[in-house]
């Protein structure tokens, strides 16, 4: 019987995510009344539950989203060795990034793109439009279309609010009072939020369906910008390794789906919706601003 | 006591289930045409619909979509359509569909911008951000919150974050904010990259 109650409670918790706070309040109140409880008490409990759920499902303001993203970005940069010192390189990546961001569904959000001084092959997107790509990734790329594909993948994460969704979910599961806390006063809770965000970025990763979604939306955004649709897939093809499907090995196996699966999934999209779009690749400019500059260092 | 709790839980679950059927929230991976997969907002699919002139109606599925004077890559932009706006499609050939604008002119729009699913409530249904659709007038606000929020700066200091990292991020924030839309357009044009 206890197991049944526990399962029911878990399901109700899941319902908190799926229902509005008022629906949850009404459901709780009605349930208690039908179970023979005092209507006044039922109303009080229902209201409390609704208030609790309301807090959980509240929208995040732009200010909070940016402040949270900035805090997480600082932590990430601290961990990964900071930003690359080449200002021209940073500007070039921002140009390509802004070009794809303007074709996304949040075109007026001012995105910040940064090249991280790290040789690991990786890229991250924090809430509020903070997108980072490593020097290691840039070394693997051969064209602006590939860079656009990678950046557009990250822009798609921001556009769809993937990390915010995951943090909201963590908030419910872990009981953190406010995993999206970005207030000016409570540093302890703010710090806790940043830690949660950093953990999602570098340790746990996002749910795989979000990665697949960012792949397809990212390729679409890059195509709309005027770049070759295959940019992201071409890049993934370069970093695919034989042990990629092995959970213990392979590129980013701990935070992303296997590269081979991503390539396969992207293939359907490229052969379907994006078939026939003849975008630019632009190797020359990429070599001038990225490959040649990194080679000199 | 236990039975009573059980009854409350079961009843609440039943009501929640019923309520969630009509609720439009929760994560739903979107299909590539942005129609929301199996999410409730995808319905009703009442198309292909014919408008009074006999042309097929489709809807813009992105925030802004350019309309061009021809289907060629170097075509001139003649109009901009907004998200959820209906358009009359004259011909569905190639990558850009020929459409008729409200003022009677014809133009071409990339098929990626259109969906044949009528939007419900004029949007995608799920609202995650309080300011999801940031208007042009609000852009200044977006820029002003970059790196200038004292609370987050104080918190960063309290967290013991390295000053050099904070300076680096501020520097790249300023760089990003200084890039204008015109500069981006010029950058694309110079590189032979033509938005569709």
Reading the block at residue B126, the tokens are 């799920």
Count of Cβ atoms closer than 10 Å to residue B152 Cβ: 25
User: Chain B within 8 Å of A103 (Cβ-Cβ)?
Assistant: yes
How far is residue A35's CA from residue A80's CA, in Å, rounded to a whole number?
A: 56
User: Chain B within 8 Å of A59 (Cβ-Cβ)?
Assistant: yes
User: Which residue from B minimizes the CA distance to A12?
Assistant: B13
User: Which residue from A minimizes the CA distance to B190?
Assistant: A285
Which of A143, A76, A164, A61 is CA-nearest to residue A112?
Answer: A76
Note the pLDDT tens digit of each residue in A14-44.
444 444 444 444 554 555 555 555 555 555 5
Report the residue from B127, B169, B191 with minimal CB separation from A73.
B169
Residues forming a β-bridge with B60:
B114
E-assigned strand segments in B6-165: 49-50, 56-60, 64-68, 77-82, 86-91, 96-100, 106-110, 114-115
Helix axes A62-80, B163-178, angle to 10 degrees: 130
Which residues does chain A have within 8 Å of residue B196's beta carbon, measured at their own beta carbons? 223-224, 226, 277, 279
Q: Is A110–B146 a contact, with Cβ atoms under 8 angstroms apart?
A: yes
Average pLDDT over residues A102-125: 90
Count of Cβ atoms closer than 10 Å to residue B85 Cβ: 15
Q: What is the pLDDT of residue B28?
A: 42
User: Chain A within 8 Å of B123 (Cβ-Cβ)?
Assistant: no
Q: Quick check: A3 pLDDT over 60?
A: no
pLDDT band at B36 (very low <50, low <70, confident <90, very high): very low
Note the pLDDT tens digit of each residue in B39-68.
333 333 333 455 656 778 888 877 778 898
**What pTM did the predictor assign?**
0.67
CA B126 to chain A, closest CA, distance in angstroms equals 10
Q: What is the pLDDT of residue A129?
A: 94
Give me the interface pTM, i.e. the ipTM: 0.76
Mean pLDDT score across all residues of chain A? 78
Which of A178, A17, A53 is CA-nearest to residue B28?
Answer: A17
Q: Is residue B33 packed enough to be buried (19+ CB in 10 Å), middle (13-18) or exposed (0-12)?
A: middle
Q: Is B125 left (phi over 0), alpha (psi -120 to 50) or beta?
A: left
Range with the poorest average pLDDT among A25-29, A72-76, A247-251, A277-281: A247-251
Q: Quick check: A50 pLDDT over 80?
A: no
Residues 239-258 of A with CB under 8 A from B: none
Which residues does chain A have within 8 Å of residue B184's beta carbon, measured at their own beta carbons? 95, 98-99, 102
Q: Is B142–A19 a contact, with Cβ atoms under 8 angstroms apart?
A: no
Which of B134, B133, B146 is CA-nearest to residue B178?
Answer: B146
- The sign of the dihedral angle between the CA atoms of A252, A256, A258, A261 is negative
User: Chain A within 8 Å of B167 (Cβ-Cβ)?
Assistant: no
How far is residue B168's CA from residue A282's CA, in Å, rounded to a whole number?
A: 29
Q: Quick check: B142 pLDDT over 70?
A: no
């Amino acid at each position: 019987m206890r197991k049944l109650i526990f399962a029911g409670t878990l399901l109700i918790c899941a319902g908190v995510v799926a229902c509005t706070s008022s629906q949850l309040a009404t459901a709780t109140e009605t349930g208690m009344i039908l179970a023979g409880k005092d209507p006044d008490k039922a109303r009080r409990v229902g209201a409390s539950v609704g208030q609790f759920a309301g807090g959980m499902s509240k929208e995040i303001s732009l200010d909070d989203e940016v402040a949270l993203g900035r805090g997480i970005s600082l932590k990430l940069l601290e961990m990964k060795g900071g930003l690359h010192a080449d200002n021209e390189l940073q500007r070039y990546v921002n140009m390509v990034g802004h070009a794809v961001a303007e074709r996304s569904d949040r075109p007026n959000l001012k995105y910040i793109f940064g090249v991280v001084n790290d040789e690991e092959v990786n890229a991250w997107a924090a809430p509020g439009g903070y997108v980072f790509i490593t020097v290691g990734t840039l070394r693997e790329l051969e064209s602006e279309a590939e860079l656009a594909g990678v950046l557009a993948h990250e822009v798609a994460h921001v556009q769809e609010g993937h990390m915010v969704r995951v943090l909201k979910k963590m908030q419910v599961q872990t009981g953190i009072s406010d995993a999206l806390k970005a207030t000016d006063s409570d540093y302890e809770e703010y710090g806790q939020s940043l830690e949660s965000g950093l953990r999602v970025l570098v340790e746990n990763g996002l749910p795989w369906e979000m990665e697949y979604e960012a792949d397809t939306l990212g390729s679409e955004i890059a195509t709309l910008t005027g770049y070759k649709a295959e940019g992201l897939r071409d890049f993934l093809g370069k970093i695919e390794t034989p042990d990629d499907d092995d959970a213990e090995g392979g590129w980013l196996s701990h935070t992303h789906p296997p590269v081979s699966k991503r390539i396969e999934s992207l293939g359907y999209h490229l052969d379907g919706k994006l078939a026939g779009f003849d975008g630019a690749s632009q190797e020359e400019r990429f070599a001038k601003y990225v490959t040649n500059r990194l080679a000199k260092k | 006591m236990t039975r009573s709790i059980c009854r409350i839980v079961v009843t609440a679950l039943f009501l929640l289930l019923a309520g969630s059927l009509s609720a439009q929230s929760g994560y739903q991976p979107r299909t590539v045409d942005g129609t929301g997969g199996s999410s409730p907002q995808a319905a009703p699919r009442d198309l292909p619909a014919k408008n009074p002139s006999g042309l097929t109606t489709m809807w813009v599925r992105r925030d802004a979509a350019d309309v061009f004077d021809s289907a060629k890559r170097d075509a001139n932009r003649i109009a901009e359509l907004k998200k959820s706006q209906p358009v009359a499609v004259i011909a569905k050939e190639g990558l850009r569909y020929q459409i008729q604008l409200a003022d009677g002119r014809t133009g071409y729009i990339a098929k990626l911008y259109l969906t044949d699913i009528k939007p419900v409530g004029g949007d995608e249904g799920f609202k995650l951000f309080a300011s999801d659709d940031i208007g042009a007038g609000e852009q200044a606000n977006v820029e002003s919150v970059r790196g200038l929020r004292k609370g987050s700066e104080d918190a960063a200091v309290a967290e013991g974050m390295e000053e050099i990292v904070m300076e680096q991020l501020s520097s790249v924030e300023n760089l990003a904010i200084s890039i204008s839309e015109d500069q981006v357009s010029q950058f694309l044009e110079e590189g032979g990259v033509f938005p569709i």
